[in-house]
Structure 1
Amino acid sequence: MLVTLAVRAVLIPVGVSVAKAAQGRRRIAPQLAALQKRYKKNPEKLQKETMALYAAEKVSPLAGCLPMLAQAPVISLVYALFASAHIAGEPNPLLDASLFGAGLGRHLLDLGSGLQPSDLVFVALLLVIGLVAWLSRRMALRDAATAPTPAADAPGAALLNPRGPLSWAPFVTLIAAAFVPLAATLYLAVSGAWSYAERRILRAIYT
């Protein structure tokens, strides 16, 4: 958990940049709506003008992906450390660590081989991840209510449409938690809760 908190603290500037980008997207929403109305029959021109507007206003349409990309190496390292039975030819001492009695190297899929009371920590963490995913999607949809929706036939519409299939992306974490060691599940839960709280605070600041 301390590793998670340390990583999230280091990534606070990234969170600030994401909040500023979201503020920028809200600011240029009327201009985006005007472009979509003007070029709705010319998807290629619409995409070109949209990207030009983002560049001119110094707003990134994909800034929201930065925290996930920045954490990917850390999550991969945590997974590798707790998924390996041996390190440098020696038994992995990290597998002896536990969280409320549940081994940090155990997987959710291991529970079928013998459920123990301590394994309820898996349930608790999954509930946290699921709740955070639901709250995050609700926040994103609330923000999207004031943003223009890209034309369905515009190139990259699915990527730029905050109300499209990608709005369910937060729940990917919940699925991933079923296939990683408890240590990684803990990281995902704490990091997700931090991200949501950080977004709420920064959203209030950059409105």
Structure 2
Amino acid sequence: MDIFALPPLTLLLDGAYRALLALSYLFEPVASTNAAALAVVAVTVVVRIVLIPVGISQAKAEQMRARLAPKLRDLQKRHAKDRERLQRETLALYKDENASPLAGCLPLIVQAAVVGVLYTLFLRPEIAGHPNELLAQDLFGAPLGDSLLTAVGGGLTVSTGIVWAVVLVVILIVAEITRRVFRPQVPDEGPLAAPGMLGVLNALHYLTAVFAVFVPLAAALYLVVTVSWTLAQRAVLRRRYPLPSQ
């Protein structure tokens, strides 16, 4: 089933298409054939600016979760054999501390929605019944509508290869910096303390690079800007809301 065939989603997709196309026309005098790519970057920056309050809430929630971690471990020890009691006590603890175990989900939902829209915009030959002009756009010769897999399958040109190499290298560098600077805090006991779990947690940082290979270049550009912005924002907010000493 094509969910974008539903009238509300068709209007949403058409609105996003017209806005992105208008923005690319605006950038044409300075970006020429790369205007659509610059428009994607601009849209990403706007999305990240709008999400700054959410990022602040995330930093506060992360700080609180770190502070509550010893209490949660204590609850797990005391009620290990009573799952219902453990759940009640855990929810009560979060309520008393005015915290939420679901804090931080909103940015993931927003990111998935934006990537989904960009993915659709640069794949469909028609948007709401009219030709999709975005499919003709590129970044230094690399089609914005092609994924790396598609580009390789169709014969990878030098310019396209360079663009994709830069995209993936930037994502990997940001992932490595994030892994080193924001090391996950693994408890001494529990499922996360299992052998090899730290390696699994570290590997999760690189999933964005894997995902970028399968999406159109336009969506990969969104991911590049997003991970770079997120790293810078986390560094600033970590200084403002430091985690308690372990």
Superposed pair shares fold, TM > 0.5: yes
Percent identity of equivalent pairs: 49
User: Which whole-Å CA distance do the structure 2 matches of 1:138 and 1:50 have between them?
Assistant: 30
2:158 equivalent in structure 1: 117
* Distance across 1 between alignment mates of 2:170 and 2:189: 32
Cα pair distance change 1:168/1:56, threshold 3 Å:
farther
> How well do the aligned residues superpose, as a CA RMSD in angstroms?
2.5
Give the letter for the 2:216 counterpart.
P
Q: Which runs of 5+ in 2 are unaligned?
A: 1-40
Distance 1:61 1:163 in 2: 21
Max radius of gyration: which structure? 2
1:29-70 Cα offsets, whole Å, 9 max, x none, are 232232233334444433332222112112222323321112
Partner of 2:55: 15
Instruction: Identify if the C-alpha distance between structure 1 residues 59 and 135 changes in structure 2 by more than 3 Å, giving closer, same or farther.
Output: farther
How far did 1:151 drift?
3.1
Look up the equivalent residue of 2:45 and give its one-letter code: L
Superposed displacement of residue 115, structure 1: 1.7
> What do residues 118-154 of structure 1 show as CA deviations (whole Å, max 9, x unaligned)?
2111111112222323333444434x15xx46634xx
Residue matched to 2:4? none
Alignment match, 2:90: 50
Do the aligned partners of 1:141 and 1:163 also contact (CA within 8 Å) in 2? no
Out of 22, 29, 39, which is 2:79 matched to? 39
The number of residues matched between the two structures is 197
Q: 8 Å contact 1:95–1:103 — kept in the other structure?
A: yes
Unaligned ranges ≥5, structure 1: none
Residues 150/92 of structure 1: CA separation in 2 closer, same or farther (3 Å cut): farther
My pick for the range that moved more, 99-108 or 186-195, is: 99-108
Q: With structure 2 as the length reference, what TM-score do the two structures score?
A: 0.70
Higher mean C-alpha displacement, 110-119 vs 10-19:
110-119
Cα offset, 1:12, TM superposition: 0.5
Structure 1 residues 81-160: aligned runs within 5 Å: 81-112=121-152, 113-119=154-160, 120-142=162-184, 144-145=185-186, 148=187, 151-152=190-191
Alignment partners' CA distance in 2, 1:189 and 1:149: 34
Matched residues in 2 for 1:51 and 1:134: separation? Answer: 34
Residue matched to 2:117: 77
User: For 1:170-206, what per-residue CA distance to the aligned partner results, in whole angstroms no more than 9, with x for missing partners?
Assistant: 4332222121110000001111111111111111101
